[in-house]
Amino acid sequence: MITWLGFAWTVFAAATVAALSTTLRFMFPNVLFEPKTSFKIGSPDTYELGKVDTRWEDKYGVWIIRSPEGIYALSTVCTHLGCKPSWMDSEQKFKCPCHGSGFYKSGINFEGPAPRPLERFSISLADDGQILVDKSKKFQYEKGEWSNPLSLLAV
Amino acid sequence: MVEEKKEPKKFSLPKLPSFSFKDFRLKTQVGKSMFRHGYSDDEKDRAMTVLTNVFFHLHPVRVRKSGARFGFTWCAGGLSFFVFLTLVVSGILLMFYYRPTVEYAYNDIVAMREHVPFGIMRELHRWGAHAMIITVWLHMFRVFMTGSYKPPREFNWVVGVILLVLTMLLSFTGYLLPWDQLAMWAITVGSNMARATPFFGHEGPGAALLMLGDIPLVHAGSDVRFALLGGRFVGAAALLRFYILHCVAIPVAVVILMAVHFWRIRKDGGISAPL
């Protein structure tokens, strides 16, 4: 038997739940004004052999390194607590200002509290000959993922 | 006829209109409407003074002599409240000069020191924030050491713990607002902890279980850190969110809980007695 009072309480409870869930959903934006996670960064011959290219570190959060084996995209996020290390050209290492973690040019950690190497992102050649980096696919050394062909662009 | 002798008039100051606060309080309609209690200092009037004032009535009508002793309370709770009030006042003043956008935030902070009159206002706010953390911890320590958390005051202890957390969240959210390197990376590191929240953080335990087929429900773009920052990293959205949390959302919650906290002291029998 449904009473009017019970009905009123049900409506009130439903409206409250609806209002609270709407408020919760409101806190999750639909559109982000953040850089794209997949982007083109010019042709491979604009990257010098043996150099760490820092031109995309502010815009996209990647370092592009060309080694004799090929080109790879390193994440600029320190694996300790998420700060941004800097490339020290004279010392040939990435050094994190927050807690002193150090990484080799390859991304392997060798000093400080960082527990694992920097992550690499998917890198490939687009149809127009430009390098295409996709940050939504990441490769972790400690999981053996750096042998994945998408983690290194042979040139 | 006898001439009337005129006495020389003595000089006297013109009479000033006299004002008696007591008469104003007890005889005028304005005075009587503002205060509901008498004017004497007997027991009843003193109790009525506390009970009929919206601010005082949160307090106990009577305080034990032992409870009013500085050595027993350290006045740490009262100091916390006092520091909170100075933070509210200085914080509102700072809001007149600060814009929470990536373009202006840092420059406005520098201008507060360099150009704004009484450039110490920002330092007052900052020192006050440090002081409040210290006094709140001292208050908690005192309440613990005097056993004042024991029944019937256990609920008020819980309210106090929530207030402690909110105090620290106020410090945390205020930390980002200068928008310098320290702020940026401190909040980056701090908010990265939210990644590891059980079920609600995308790197936390249990998050991997929440799948719809092979689509993860909790990922970097839908977890609790994302809701806090309004994005995947500390950017413009995070600055605005932390500003709103710092200046509106958390203070409102703190004020409400403080009112409950003070009122419960009275309802739980006043300041506890020494054991």
Question: Can you give the pLDDT at residue B3?
Answer: 66
pLDDT tens-digit profile of B84-100?
999 999 999 999 999 99
Q: Count up the domains in chain B and report the number.
A: 1
Per-residue pLDDT at B188 exceeds 90 = yes
Instruction: Report the chain B residue with the minimal C-alpha distance to residue A81.
Output: B189
User: Does residue B236 belong to the interface with chain A, where contact is any CB pair within 8 Å?
Assistant: yes
Instruction: Report the chain A residue with the minimal C-alpha distance to residue B219.
Output: A136
CATH number at residue B76: 1.20.810.10
Tell whether B260 is covered by a domain: yes
- pLDDT band with cut points at 50, 70 and 90 for residue B199: very high
Average pLDDT over residues B135-154: 94
Tell whether B149 is covered by a domain: yes
Average pLDDT over residues B1-22: 78
Query: Between chain A and chain B, how many beta carbons pairs sit less than 8 Å apart?
Result: 33
pLDDT tens-digit profile of A83-104?
999 999 999 999 999 999 999 9
Question: Can you give the pLDDT at residue A115?
Answer: 95
Give me the CATH code for the A38-151 domain, please.
2.102.10.10
Q: Distance between CA B109 and CA B181 in Å, rounded?
A: 13
Write out chain B residues lying below 8 Å of A28, CB-based.
222, 226-227
Per-residue pLDDT at A18 exceeds 90 = yes
What percent of chain A is helix, strand and coil (3-state, nearest 5)? 25, 30, 50
pTM of the complete model: 0.83
Question: Can you give the pLDDT at residue B1?
Answer: 59
Collect all residues from A whose CB is shorter than 8 A from any CB in B.
27-29, 32-34, 81-84, 97-98
Tell whether B252 is covered by a domain: yes
Q: Distance between CA A77 and CA B95 in Å, rounded?
A: 33
Tell whether B255 is covered by a domain: yes
Question: Can you give the pLDDT at residue B2?
Answer: 64
Residues 6+ apart with CB under 8 A from B78: none
The ipTM of this complex is 0.75
Tell whether B177 is covered by a domain: yes
Tell whether B27 is covered by a domain: no
> DSSP character for B85?
H
* Domain region containing B161: 64-209+217-267
Residue ranges of domains in chain A: 38-151
